Structure 1
Amino acid sequence: MSIPRNDYPRPQFVRKEWVNLNGKWDFAFDDRNEGLKKKWYHSFPVEQQINVPFAFQTELSGINDKSFHDVVWYQRKLAVPEGWSNKEILLHFGAVDYRSWVYINGNLATFHEGGNTPFSVNITHLLNWDNEDTVTVRVEDPSKDVTIPRGKQYWHEKSESIFYTRTSGIWQTVWMEPIEKSSLSSIRWTPEIDRGDIELEFEIDGENVSNLSLSIDITFNGEKIISDQTNMLEIYNKRSYNIRNRFTDRSNIHGSGWYWSPENPNLFDVTLTLRKGEKIVDQVDSYFGMRKVSIENGIFMLNNMPYYQKLVLDQGYFPGGLLTAPSEDALKKDIELAKEMGFNGARKHQKVEDPRYLYWADKLGFLVWGEMANASEYSEEAARRLATEWFEVIKRDYNHPSIIVWLPLNESWGISRVAHAKQQQAHATSMYWNTKSVDQTRPVLSNDGWEHTISDICGIHNYRNEEELKQAYKDVESAISTTPANRVIYANGFSYNHEPILITEYGGIAYQVDNTEGWGYSSVRNEEDFVLEYKKHTEALMNSRIIQGFCYTQLTDVEQEINGLLTYDRVPKCDLKKIKEINDQK
C-alpha cells in the first residue's frame, strides 16, 4: 500500500535516512474530553482509522466528518529500523492544528501550540526498541475560540462568505530520522549579491564541538565551485563564501547570470558534512539562491533592478484535502498553471504553505509573499499566539529565495480597531519590527490591504470596477486617500512615506462553469466576458504610473467562492493564453 505524501518533508535540510509515518493511524473523537482522565495514551479506544496527513474533515482522510470535534486522538505503532539502534531518534510533525501532546509508550514526550509550524522531539529515551513502540497524539482545536490564528478556517460548521471548512489535527507529514549525538540542528543562508557572497549561519546540537569539523561543498550546474573545511570553535558560527569569483569556466557565468529570479531560477546545491576526526557524524544536503530584494527611492527592486510584480492570490485549498495537497504534483501544478498565465508570483493567502510548495517555487522561479494565518479577534493572548508562531514561520522558511515579502497581518484581521486603537496599532507595529529583528533581507507589511501603521510596501485591496480603479490610481494622492471597503489606507497617526504602492487584491470576478453555486465581487456569464473583465481590471492597474504590481483574486475557486481563474478542480475557465497575453503587456 502506497504511503500518502511520501515526498521528503524538509527540502532545504535533507538527510538520506528517514521513515515516513503517514498512512493509517487509529483515531478517536473525544467529544466529552475524557481521554486524559481515562489515560487513552495507555489504553487507546480504537474507534476508527484515519489516513494521515489528511484532517478528519477531508475525503482523503477516510472519515470526511465536517462537524465540530474539538478534541481528537491518534495512535500508531513505531517500527524503528534495526540500523538505528545506536542513534538518537527524532520524531517530526510538519503541522498539527492547533495544540498537541505527543506520547511515546504512554509517556509524555512533548507539547506544541500552533497549527501552522513544525515541531520535533527526541524520543530515544522513551523507546523500547521492540517494534511495538507506540506514538499517541492528543489534539485540541477549539472551535469557538476566535483568538486562535486559523486564517480562512471558519468558526461555524458550515462554510460561508470568505471562510472555508476548517482543518483539525495532523495535516502535514509525520516522520522520524536518526542522528548522531552531535549533529547539525539548523542552517541559515543569507545572500549578499553586491559582494557576491553567501553567508552561512549554523547551529550544532550535542557534545563539545571543539573536536568537530564542518566541510561545505557548493556546486552550480554540476560544477563544484567551493569546497571548504573548518574546525568548530563554537556552536554558533557564521561563514561567508564568495560565489562571484569561484567559477572555473567563466563562459558558464557572466554578469548577473547566477542570480535567482522568476526568469532564471538559478540554485546552488550544497552538501554540509560534519566530522569527528575522520568519522562522518552528520551530512545534510541543502541549496540556496543568490537574490536581493530591496526598495530604493520608493521603487521595488529585485537584484538591483525595478521589478513589476504580477501576483495571483492563492488560498492553498484542495478538493479532498482542504489545506493538505493530495500530492506534491498538485502543489507543483498550481505554480505551473500560474506561470502559464503569465503571473510571476503568488500571495499565499492566510496560509503558511507546505515546504514542498516553496521548494517548487524556488525550483521553477515563482515569487511568494509569505503570510501568516490570522486570528479573527484581538486579545493579549491572541497577540502572544500570533507573535510566537510567526517567529517559527520565519525560521522555517527564511532560506527560500522565492519568498520576497513577509506579511504577518491582513485586512485588520485580529486587529479590527487598529484604525484608532493604540494597543492594536502597537501590536501591528510590533509585528513589523519583530519580523525585521529576525530578517533584514525582505520587505515587511504591518497590515496588508488598509489601515497600515509602519510598512515597507503600501498594499491596497480594492474590488471596485475598472473606471474607479483608473481614477483611484492616477496619482499617489488619490491612491492613499481612497477608502476601499470604507477603510482608510493608513491608521490614525501614521502616514504614507514613499513606499511602493501595490494593489494586493482586486478583481474577484465570479464565473460559474460547473455545478458549483457561489459568489464573487462581480460576475459574468460566459468566457468572453470573463476574459474581457480580467483585461479591463488588470489594464487599469498596469496603465497607472504609480502602481508597481498587482495581485489578482484568485487562482482557483474554493468551496462557495467561484472567483477563480481555475475551478476548484484546477480546470481552466478560459484559454489561459489569453490571460497570459494580458499579463505580458507589463
Structure 2
Amino acid sequence: MPTPALPRPEYPRPQFVRRDWLSLNGAWQFETDQGDSGLERGLLGRDLDREILVPFPPESELSGIGDTDFLEAVWYRRVLTLPSAWAGRRVLLHFGAVDHDTTVWANGVEVARHRGGFTPFTADLGDVAGPGEEVTLTVRARDSRSGPQARGKQAVQYANHDCNYTRVTGIWQTVWLEPVPDLHMRRPRITPDLGGSAFHLELPLSGNRPGHRVRAVLSDGDGEVCRAEVRADLDLAPRLHLPVPDGRRHEWGPGSPHLYGLRLELLDGSGEVVDSAESYAGLRAVGLRGKAVTLNGRPVFQRLVLDQGWYPDGLMTAPSDEALVHDIEIAMAAGFNGARLHQKVFEERFLYHADRLGYLVWGEFGDWGCETGGSSGDNQQPDASYTGQWLEALERDYSHPSVIGWCPLNETYQKLHDRITQLDSVTRAMFLATKAMDTTRPVIDASGYAHRVAETDIYDAHNYEQDPAAFRQLMAGLAKDEPFVNAYENGAAYSQPYRGQPYFVSEFGGIWWDPEAAAAQSGEDRTASWGYGERVRDEEEFHARFEGLTGVLLQDPNMFGYCYTQLTDVFQEQNGVYRFDRGTKLDIERIRAAQTRPAAIEADKAVEEGGA
C-alpha cells in the first residue's frame, strides 16, 4: 500500500471539531536512545540521526524504522512555522497517545509531561511561540522494559509469544496543532436523557469573563431542533438543557444509529462568537433490569467480539481511517453487534465510526493481570497512573453513544491468601472513579478472575472450555444464581460472591484454527501458531465447535450476552474469525447464521417477557 504524503490526515477528535487545525503527522527527525542518556548527551539541542513517519510507532513497518527490540527511550524533533493566519490566538499542541512516559519541549522549554501510553494530552505553546513564529518541537518518550506500566498486550519478553504482541513505543496516534482564543471552550460532556427526551450538556471553559455566554444548537436532517443559551461568566462548566420535541425524537441503537448535530459557541459581551466547535450526540439509554442489560428500555442480546485493535503493518495504529471502518464492518458481517475494545484505549475515530454505524462497544483500559504480588513475570503492577490514565480515557469518550459500558481492569488476580490488599484498593479506586465520572453506564470492576467490588454492576467470567457439552454443564448454574466463576485450581474463589447481577461470559471460544499451519505441521507448535485448547482438524470442525459454544449462551434466557475471542488473528495467535490482514479464512455466512438463528431471538424474547 503506498504511503500517503500525509498519513492519517483525518481530523482526530470528531466529537469536538474546530475549523482551524494543522496535522503534524508525517516526517519527523528520530533517534533511539537505548541508554536513556539523551538529555545528558545533548539530544535536546541538535538534529536527530534518522527520520520516522508519525503517527506510526518505530516498531512498525509503516514508520520506516521497524525496530522491534526493546526501546528504552526514543526522541522526536520537528521544526515548523506556526501559521500566521492564527494571529491573536494561543496555539495548542495535541498528542493522541504516546507510549509511555513523555516529555515535550518547545524551543528548549519544557511544555508538557505525561505518563501513560493510551490517553491524550495537550501542551500550550502560547507562552513560548505564537502564530508566524518558528518553533522547534522535541519529544522524548521513555518505555522501560521493567517496572509498573499498563502495557495491554505488549510482550515483555523479547519476541512475541502466546497472546502477547510486538511492543509499541513513542508516538502512535495523531499529533496536531489548534489555535484557540485566550478564553475558550473545552471538551463538552453530552449526557442523553431518553426518559426526559433531552440532552444535558456541560461545556467547560478555560475561564470566565463578564458578559460572556455559551450557546448550543441541536439539529437533525430537517434543520434546527432546539437551542439553549446561558451565562458563561459564573461557572467553569456552564450547563445547558436541550429538549427534543416528540416529532423530532430519534433513538440511537443498532440498526438505527441516529445522530443529532450539535453546534457549540462561546459569545462575548457584544454577542460576537469568539470560539465555536461542531459536535454530535445520540439519544439512548443503558439500563439494568434483573439479569438483563437494556438499551432504550429493551433487552438487546449483546453478541460481542473481542477486538485487539492490532494491524500487521501499523501495530496499535491503524494504517488508515478506512481500516477502522472495515474492522467494524467485518465484525457486523459475521453477526456480531458490538465488541470489547480489548486491552487498549482505541483511537477516538474508531468510536466515531461505531457511533454512526450503530456498533455497541465496551470501553477498556490497557492493563492485563494487574498482579500485586510482585512477580517478576508481570510488571503491569498498578500505580497512580492507572487511575489517572483511566480518568483521561473516560473524559475523552464519555459522550460517545456507542460506548454502553466500562471495564477498567482485566483478569486481575493475587496470590491465594495473600495479605497484600493493594489489588482491592486499586480495583475499588478505579471502579469508584468510573462511577463518579459516569453515572449513566454500567461498570464491570474487572473482567474475569477477581471481582473485588461487591456492588459491581455486571458480573462475568472467562471460560475457554472447548467442548460444547462440557461448556454447557459449566454454564448451567446461572438459572439458580450459581454461575460459573473463575477460581484457583483448588476451587477457592478469586471474587466477591455473585449477587444476582446481569451476567455474561466475556471471553470464550478462542478456537485455534490456522489452515496453513494445520497442513504444514504435525503436533501443536505454539511458537508458530497459538490458540486455546486443541486445534481443530479442519474448518468443518471449527464451525461445529463455534455453533455449539455460542448455542449454549444464545439459548440461556438468563444470559444478557457474550464476547467471543476474537475478531482477527494477531501474529502467532491464530484464533480469529478473520486473518490478521483481515482476509477471509472461514465461511462468514455460517458464522453469522450461528449467531442469528431462531434460538437467539427466542433468548431475547424470553428475557423481555420474563423481566429477568
Q: Say yes or no: TM over 0.5.
A: yes
**Matches of 1:307 and 1:417 in 2, distance apart?**
37
Poorly superposed stretches of 4+, deviation over 6 Å: none
Which of 521, 525, 530 is the equivalent residue of 1:519? 530
How do 1:370-381 residues align onto structure 2 when only pairs under 5 Å count?
370-374=363-367, 376-378=370-372
Deviation at 1:191, TM superposition (A): 1.0
Query: Take 2:199 and 2:135, find their aligned partners in 1: how far apart are those partners?
Result: 43
Q: Secondary structure at the match of 1:126?
A: coil
Is the CA contact (8 Å cut-off) linking 1:127 and 1:133 kept in structure 2?
yes
Q: CA RMSD in A?
A: 2.1
Render the CA deviation track for 1:244-266: whole Å, top value 9, x for unaligned: 44xxxx3xx5xxx6111112111
Match of 2:143 in 1: 141
User: Match of 2:168?
Assistant: 167
1:528 maps to which of 531, 534, 540:
540
CA offset digits 1:346-372 (Å, max 9, x no partner): 001111001000000000000111011
* 1-structure distance, mates of 2:415, 2:108: 43
Task: Give the structure 2 partner of residue 65 of structure 1.
Answer: 67
Q: How does 1:80-91 map to 2 (within 5 A)?
A: 80-91=82-93
Is 2:423 aligned against 1:390? no
Aligned to 2:40: 37
The residue aligned with 1:437 is: 436
Match of 1:4, as an amino acid?
A: P
Letter in 2 for 1:80: L
Alpha carbons of structure 1 residues 551 and 108: separation in structure 2 relative to 1, 3 Å:
same
- Contact persistence 1:21–1:176 (CA under 8 A): yes
Sort the Cα spacing of 1:508 and 1:401 in 2 relative to 1 into closer, same or farther, 3 A: same
- Residue 596 of structure 2 corresponds to residue 584 of structure 1: yes
- SS for the counterpart of 2:589 is helix
Name whichever of 300-309 and 363-372 sits farther off.
300-309
Letter in 2 for 1:422: T
Unaligned runs of 5+ in 1: none
Give the aligned residue type for 1:156: Q
Question: What's 2:342 paired with?
Answer: 349
What SS is found at the alignment partner of 1:356?
helix
| Structure 2 counterpart of 1:545, one-letter code | P
**Aligned pair in 2 of structure 1 residues 311, 58: CA closer, same or farther (>3 Å)?**
same
Give the equivalent residue in structure 2 for 1:262.
254
* Matched letter for residue 291 of structure 1: R
Residue 15 (structure 1) aligns with: 18
Deviation at 1:418, TM superposition (A): 8.9
Q: Which amino acid aligns with 1:550?
A: Y
SS at match of 1:183: coil
Post-superposition shift, 1:236? 2.1
Q: Scaled by the length of structure 1, what TM-score is found?
A: 0.93
Show the counterpart of 2:182: 181
- Identical-pair percentage: 36
| 2:353 maps to 1:360 | yes
Look up the match of 1:229.
229
Q: Which residue of 1 aligns with 2:576?
A: 564
Deviations 1:547-566 (A, max 9, x none): 22110000000011000000
Measure, in 2, the Cα distance between the counterparts of 1:175 and 1:503. 40
How far did 1:423 drift?
3.1
1:153 matched to which residue of 2? 154
Counterpart of 1:108? 110
1:273 is aligned to: 265
Shift of 1:128: 6.6
Relative distance call for 1:448 and 1:576 in structure 2 (3 A) is same
Match of 2:308 in 1: 315
Instruction: Tell me, yes or no, if structure 1 residue 204 matches structure 2 residue 205.
Output: yes
CA contact (8 A) 1:458 1:501 kept: yes
Cα distance, 1:294 vs structure 2? 1.2
CA distance in 1, matches of 2:487, 2:585: 28
Q: Distance in 1 between matches of 2:417 and 2:220?
A: 47
1:448 to partner: Cα distance: 0.9
Q: Flag structure 2 segments of 5+ consecutive residues without an equivalent.
A: 375-379, 519-527, 601-612
User: For residues 334 and 364 of structure 1, what CA distance do their matches in structure 2 show?
Assistant: 12
| Distance change (3 Å), C-alpha of 1:211 and 1:202 | same
Q: Distance in 1 between matches of 2:302 and 2:564?
A: 11
- Distance in 1, matches of 2:338 and 2:384, equals 30
Aligned to 1:283: 276
Amino acid at match of 1:335: I
Task: Using structure 2 for the length normalisation, give the TM-score.
Answer: 0.89
Cα deviation, 1:285-344, whole Å, max 9, x if unaligned, reads 001111111112232111111121100000000010110000010011000001111111
Q: CA deviation at 1:480?
A: 2.9
Closer, same or farther: CA 384–279 of 1 in aligned 2, 3 Å: same
Distance change >3 Å, CA 278–CA 546, structure 1 → 2: closer
Tell me whether 1:405 sits opposite 2:408 in the alignment. no
**Paired residue secondary structure (2:138):** strand
Q: 2: distance between equivalents of 1:317 and 1:32?
A: 28
1:448–1:243 CA distance, 2 compared to 1 (3 A) = same
User: What amino acid is the match of 2:387?
Assistant: A
Aligned-partner Cα distance in 1 for 2:320–2:127: 34
Determine if contact 1:167/1:322 at 8 Å carries over to the other structure. yes
Contact 1:450 1:489 in 2 (8 A): no
Aligned to 2:287: 294
